Amino acid sequence: MKKTYKAHAKINLSLDVLRKRPDNYHDLKSVMQSMSLHDEITLETDTENGIEISTNRTFLATNEKNIAYKAADLFYTETGLSKNVHIHIKKNIPVGAGLGGGSSDAAAVLYGLNELYGDPLGRDKLLALGLACGADVPFCQTGGTCLAEGLGEILTPLSPIPECIILIAKPQMSISTKSVFEAIDTKAIQMHPNTDGIIDSLNSNNLSGIAVRVYNVFEDYVKPRYKELDKIKGVMLDCGALGSAMSGTGSAVFGIFTDEKAARKAANKLKRNKLQTFITYPVQQIFAE
């Protein structure tokens, strides 16, 4: 069988780090949103060559170092099925951007394999396999608008974000998630996002209330190495964005707009500085064909 799935990018409307855990990971609190920007994951199970990966990007790993491979391997190990699948990744989401590109690929692989083999695994088991792949994978398996807590695996569905346009800008540099987490000192964080205020604004369908509260605690740790951050946000805000913040551990920045013309104006300005730009929209349904 052969089928293609959309693996949607995500942004963090808020991202807070609450504490460092005894296992050296961190407890997070984040409002996450699925975006229309997506990779395309084609799964073909009528093969006899184990787990194979191909991609349209030469810099992506096509072996066990790719998180999509890990997801497939975990699925086959859990189900006891023969490991035979060809995974083609059409990569559209920029890497090293804080947009969950790899995590969404893994999520699509888990969902797709489970569907193609007749749903041998229940939702809870699939989410557990997703968490074993990475902290953002459970959200990418769930999608929509969610509050993510714990490592990112404790998910509470929220009211959908009101209709809007979200401009994503990715500079040439990428940022290592591991290095940013290693640098952050939770006791030294001076400003935290008003996540509860964002949730209240979602409940009241108040886009302006959401946008003025978007914030990411990692910005203060990234700024010394990422001089462009405030400039990108400034361009977006000058062009009419209601709010702007970095997504994840960076390096992508997003701006929330109500006017697509204004968003495209900001995109054109940022392109002149050699940034990748994407005009995107929030989505609630994921893994659609």
Q: What is the pLDDT, as a whole number, of residue 288?
A: 63
pLDDT at 156: 98
Domain check: are 172 and 276 in the same one? Answer: yes
> Which domain-ending residue is among 157, 179, 199?
157
Instruction: Give the per-residue pLDDT at 46.
Output: 86
**Domain range enclosing 191:** 165-280
Residue 48: predicted pLDDT: 85
If the chain, 289 residues long, is cut into consecutive pieces of 10 residues, what is the mean pLDDT of each piece? 96 94 89 98 92 95 96 98 97 95 98 98 97 96 97 96 98 80 81 96 98 95 83 97 95 97 98 96 85
* Reported pTM: 0.95
Residue 289 pLDDT = 52
At 20, which CATH number?
3.30.230.10
| pLDDT of amino acid 24 | 80
CATH number, domain at 207? Answer: 3.30.70.890
Contact criterion met (CB below 8 Å) for 14 and 145: no
Q: Cite the active site residues.
A: 10, 136
Q: Is residue 48 part of a domain?
A: yes
Same-domain status, 126 and 220: no
Instruction: Give the count of domains, the chain.
Output: 2
